[in-house]
Amino acid sequence: MKPDMNLWSGRVDPEANTARWHQQVRPFSTAAEPGTTLIGFCSDEGVRRNKGRVGAAKGPAAMRKTLASLAWHQSGPVYDAGDVVCAGEDLEAAHSALAERVAECLAHRQLPIVMGGGHEVAFGSWSGLAQHFMTQEATQAQPPRIGIINFDAHFDLRDPGLVVSSGTPFAQIAQVCEQRGWPFQYACLGVSRASNTQALFDKAEQLQTLVWEDRAMTQGRLAEMKSDLNAFIGRCDHLYLTIDIDVFPAAQAPGVSAPAARGVALDVIEPLIEQITASGKLRLADLAELNPEYDVDGHTARLAARLIHTLTL
């Protein structure tokens, strides 16, 4: 779908050198110079299947509207590739369509940033990255070492054999990696022990997941977290960053499917995101679970917009 550029509107300052996002974002085309491309994923079918509160399908529009008036400090171009829309309950078709859109952007030297939608977005996003590497398979001596870094209150490792939902994407990815003989390298940062069963912790351990619980993610332990993350990044050739906005405290992010009673503060997570982008290995990012229907004064949309702003600096 072509992007609705009418969403990119906002104030225009009369002074010189006062550009804002809405004045700079352009529609994506295959002739675009290398840069960052935004893709919307309008779906909360996975959230519905996971028995969460729906509304995240409207997240991409809310992110665009909030991004539009942010001050422009980006060094490279940013494009909008429109939305992938989940039609009814056909999540599987939406995943395929998103994978195609992501792979197309990667083929044209873009950094795709996917705006969800429920966290079911992760399987479609990763599938696009995998599709991109599969087209290069003949020239690769080894399978791609893709590291998945997930800031999330939940592991999302539930059994997809029961139902595919917003709670299963990383188990789905692990299955595909096993089938292809690819390494599965997963870091989940911000996990809430109160919100994940022992079975999920056991599954994470089985998959050798790097785990940091929310209560441990404090400013006082930032250096330790950075060290662990640096070691993880060192084992990877490529990084996929996925941010479930419910990792933040409910006071910072009330507009999500499952607000966090504790969460991890932005001033702890932001330096880690900057570390990831500085690695030079980031190939793909997405944000999930912004639910405008439950947002309070746009707090969550502002947080999501800031995260995208940080990713594109």
Contact status, residue 255 vs residue 290, Cβ threshold 8 Å: yes
Distance CA 302, CA 40 (A): 17
Rounded to the nearest 10°, the torsion over CA 277, 281, 286, 287 is -30
**Neighbour order of strands in the sheet with 35-42:** 26-27, 78-85, 35-42, 110-116, 282-288, 238-244, 146-151, 185-191, 210-213
237 a known binding residue? no
Strands (E), the chain: 26-27, 35-42, 78-85, 110-116, 146-151, 185-191, 210-213, 238-244, 282-288
214 a known binding residue? no
286 a known binding residue? no
154 a known binding residue? yes
Q: What angle do CA 162, 163, 164 make, to 5 degrees?
A: 135
Distance CA 87, CA 293 (A): 20
Contact status, residue 85 vs residue 29, Cβ threshold 8 Å: no
108 a known binding residue? no
156 a known binding residue? yes
Q: Using CA of residue 186, residue 268, residue 116, residue 286, what is the dihedral sign?
A: negative
Maximal C-alpha separation, the chain: 58
Residues flagged as binding site for Mn(2+): 119, 152, 154, 156, 244, 246
Residues flagged as binding site: 119, 152, 154, 156, 244, 246
